[in-house]
A and B are shown apart, each in its own frame.
Chain A
Amino acid sequence: MKKLINDPKAVVDEAVEGFGKAHAAHVTVHPDPLFITRKDAPKPGKVGLISGGGSGHEPLHAGYVGYGMLDAAIPGAVFTSPTPDQIIPATAAANAGAGVVHIVKNYTGDVLNFETAAEMAQADGIEVRTVLVNDDVAVEDSLYTAGRRGVGGTVLVEKIAGAAAERGDDLDAVAAIGRRVNDNVRTMGVALSACTVPHAGVPSFELAEDEIEIGIGIHGEPGRHKIPMENADGITDRLLEPILADLKPAAGDKVLLFVNGMGGTPASELYIVYRHAAKVLEDAGLVVERSLVGNYITALEMQGCSISVLRLDDEMTALWDAPVNTPALRWGM
């Protein structure tokens, strides 16, 4: 496996260093313990919004630090959650006295580390609310698993809750709207190829040339089923079917359709998926009001994509449209 790296153990530190230099106008990088804050954090009176997780999902999360989205992001090692000694100072840096919302993807490691950090930050007098993101419908029977994973929907939660915090909503209101987004978004992903974690040096799982993995998470971890390769429309149908079965939208519902690249799939292919997904939703009587297409929550160089469908209400739509100015998402200003 060929990678543009110097030392497998220095990948995260060097990447964050470069990120900080490239986006010096937006962010400040705190190297030890490692976290990234908005240049103007903490913003007086504003609820702080932070998230974090394993590195390797760029632009998630550091790419979403800035006006209208996150106040701080905490990168862990590649595909590994950050630790409480990173999360606690990031929480303090994001706190302007109005409290901090932790947006946590539902993976055992993320949950344990954020839970510990939230307890300790609250012991230091910072009010913390947690929004757990678990939008992945690939996990069929959550009774016997760690529950549904947090995947593509995380980006939508961060954007919409970020806009709510920016307009001045209080702590409970920001957390409530984050949860409302999570309750209304469903996601399903597919891998056409595996990815290689730099320090492991070997692909995270094996896929034959004519096989695809349906129902992957964002870590290159295997999904539920391997099936023979199909065309784009066929794969899109397979992803949408469980999403719609679970979300149960009614005809006339307004939705946001998000086709996310896993890092190794060209934009043209994502648009081919979007084309068919939009048609399927419209045929089902839904109104595709907003869209997002591109690499927003990735798994290193994995080929594949995920589809997220978010059922919108007017407030969510307005918050989605609100100005945002981050390294990876920018509009309206």
Chain B
Amino acid sequence: MADTPAGNTLGAAWAADWLRRSAAVVAENRMALIELDRAIGDGDHGENLDRGFTAILAKLDEETPATPGAAFKMAAMTLMSKVGGAAGPLYGTAFLRAATAVGDAPELDSALLAAALTAARDGVVARGKAETGDKTMIDAWTPAVDAAVAAAGNGETPAAVLTAAATAAEAGAVATDPLIAHKGRASYLGERAIGHRDPGAASSALILRAAAQAAESAA
């Protein structure tokens, strides 16, 4: 990576900072996510994610991951073993696929970041069997991936790639409001799910924004 200008790659410190910021934002929004889930699900999303990211913080305090891939893999295994419900396997799969996509690269450039987000999204699709418009976290992830791939293609910095992804994810989460759910527990509500934001899309937007903020602070 000698020919890459400073600020054009993100390393293990960024990945650890992302996870710490994610833990903070999930803890801060624990009740808000519970409220969203209470409206159309069973009200455990905020609690479950908070439990998972609290466990990630404990692992980060024990050991600093050597590469972004190692950080993603640690996050994947921790989320799968602590979160339960649908969110555990879905977020766990997302981080695991991202880890596989980046391998043991010490630094991620924009193209590799976009590839990692794409792999994460594809993993969630494969596990959850949801499509765009089903009112799930995919409705945040797919616009985020599209924005990241476009930004990377335009030669934007990693921070700009992640900011574009986060902004698109936030819009995608808002766009779940008028939808009828086709997956997960909200699907049992039929039309009564209309008017409520999908909690998984909302938490995905929070976590992607944390990634962007960690990148901006690293730049």
Answer yes or no: do A and B interact.
Answer: yes
Say if the beta carbon of A325 comes within 8 Å of chain B: no
With a CB–CB cut-off of 8 A, which chain B residues contact A224? 188-190, 192
- Interface core residue of A77, A107, A116, A200 (most chain B CB under 10 Å): A200
> Do A108 and B47 touch (CB < 8 A)?
no
* Complex: A273 Cα to B172 Cα, angstroms: 46
- The interface residues of chain B, by DSSP majority, are classed as helix
> Do A80 and B183 touch (CB < 8 A)?
no
* Complex: A144 Cα to B135 Cα, angstroms: 12
Residue of A nearest to B90 (CB): A112
> Do A79 and B42 touch (CB < 8 A)?
yes
Interface, chain A (partner B; CB < 8 A): 33, 54, 76-85, 107-109, 112-113, 116, 138-140, 144-146, 149, 197, 199-200, 202, 204-205, 217, 219-224
Asked, given contacts A81-B85, A84-B80, A144-B180, whether A107 binds B185 with beta carbons under 8 Å apart, the answer is: yes
- The interface residues of chain A, by DSSP majority, are classed as loop
With a CB–CB cut-off of 8 A, which chain B residues contact A76? 84-85
Residue of B nearest to A196 (CB): B43
> Do B38 and A77 touch (CB < 8 A)?
no
Asked, given contacts A116-B89, A145-B187, whether A202 binds B38 with beta carbons under 8 Å apart, the answer is: yes
With a CB–CB cut-off of 8 A, which chain A residues contact B89? 84, 109, 112-113, 116
Asked, given contacts A112-B127, A144-B180, A223-B188, whether A204 binds B84 with beta carbons under 8 Å apart, the answer is: no
A281–chain B nearest beta-carbon distance, Å? 26
Say if the beta carbon of B86 comes within 8 Å of chain A: yes
Residue of A nearest to B191 (CB): A224
> Do B188 and A149 touch (CB < 8 A)?
yes
Given A76-B85, A112-B127, A113-B84, 20 additional A-B pairs, CB 8 A: A77-B44, A79-B42, A80-B47, A80-B83, A80-B85, A81-B85, A83-B88, A85-B80, A108-B128, A108-B184, A109-B84, A112-B89, A113-B88, A113-B89, A144-B182, A145-B182, A145-B183, A197-B44, A204-B38, A221-B41
